Amino acid sequence: MNLVAVAVADYIGVVILIAMLYSSHIRRSEGRFEYKIFSLIAGLSAFACAIDFLTFYVDGKPGQLSRIIGYAGNTYCFMTNPLFSIGWCMYTELKLFKSTVRIRRRYKFIAVPGLILILISLMNLFVPVVFYIDEMNVYHRLPLSYGYFIVEFGYLIYSYVLLKRYESRYGKVRFFPIGLMMGPVIAGCIIQLVFYGISLIWVSLAVGLTAIYMSLQNEFSYLDTLTGLYNRAFLDYVLEQYSRDMGARMGGIMIDVDRFKKINDTFGHSVGDEALIDTARVITLSKPDKAVAVRFAGDEFILILKGTSEEALKRVVKNIRDELDLFNETEGRQYQLSLSIGYTLFDPEKDNVDSFFRHMDDNMYLEKVKHHS
């Protein structure tokens, strides 16, 4: 065992995770559940890096204190492994679907393998089945410990499959390079699995989480912080890119939440925010793969579609209506979500950006008048 190498690896893991947690404290203050989950798994991993070094340091050293540290530290690391894996999958689902209801419903079952391993880790303090420490205070891994690697791989594969299924239906997810997370983690697990006495899992988790966080920094500059949709800055970028391709027709759909002020006044601004998040979710689940969804202003949203037609725009509007009906039937909110929708095609010979928006807004307003009447 090379204690210096373990110390360097764990030190690097602790430092980069603490730096990441410090730089992300503003995002955590927003109170969004996905940020809390991400910070929790980062914090667990940072502490595990420090504990991991302690377990290696006391391995084989005499004394009751070394034995206690060895058992407590290794138990914590084995418990944190499935906790991290469950947390990562929850973060992935929140990142994609923005639904805590989905998390509560699905993770009653998905979390079961990880929770079983946590209970086994605690049971190991009384009946050694995962690891034991002999009379010389030397740590020994037992065959059941390999189950922790298998379950972690299973959760990582689940998150990857979840992302790919989402992309096959709704289009590519920008700013979420899951390979940057999975690559170092899988490599670190395999190396530690094959070479006994090497510690790479926790620093690998630190590298993977930091890679994801760095990518998220780009996302934050182009995303609306409340709904997770793109913001006006990204809309301007998209319109500039699309306007260069005169051969592909561009279409736009403007969506406005009906009686949004009444939701705010009746239930409070936190419920009003929830209604905007719900609207973003309905739009995301309804839009074509390559359509760009933007929170335009307040309770107004815009979908931009490239290479489209009036018939295609009508189909998207119908999809939004169908998804809205399903949402109102199944989610059990305090309010019934209602949307006014207007769409138009961009005519490069007659339109500019201002007239394009004005046509969408006029068509949306006509529908809003119908709703209010």
pLDDT band of residue 27 (cuts 50, 70, 90) is low
The whole-chain average pLDDT of the chain stands at 86
CA-angle at 345, arms to 352 and 357, nearest 5°: 45
CB 211 within 8 A of CB 204: no
81-111 pLDDT, tens per residue? 999 999 999 999 988 887 888 899 999 999 9
Which tens digits make up the pLDDT trace of 8-23? 888 888 888 888 888 7
C-alpha to C-alpha distance for 232 and 222, rounded to whole angstroms: 8
What's the mean pLDDT in 238-265? 82
304 contacts 242 by C-beta, under 8 angstroms: yes
According to the model, what pLDDT value does residue 101 have? 86
Band (350; pLDDT cuts 50, 70, 90): confident
Q: What share of the chain in percent tops pLDDT 90?
A: 38
pTM: 0.66
**pLDDT top residue among 336 and 112:** 112
Q: Distance of CA 372 to CAs 79, 150, 257, 340, Å?
A: 55, 57, 12, 10
- pLDDT exceeds cutoff 60 at 261: yes
Instruction: State residue 31's pLDDT score.
Output: 60
The stretches of the chain forming alpha helices (DSSP H) are 3-23, 25-29, 33-58, 64-97, 100-110, 112-123, 146-170, 178-194, 201-222, 232-243, 260-267, 269-286, 310-330, 353-372
pLDDT of residue 238: 84
State the average pLDDT over residues 209-218: 81
Which residue stretches of 171-299 are H helix?
A: 178-194, 201-222, 232-243, 260-267, 269-286
SS3 343: strand
**The pLDDT of residue 250 is above 80:** yes
- Does residue 373 register a pLDDT over 70? no
pLDDT at 245: 67
pLDDT at residue 283, as a whole number: 92
Reported as a single tens digit per residue, the pLDDT across 108-151 is 999 999 999 999 999 999 999 999 999 999 999 999 998 998 99
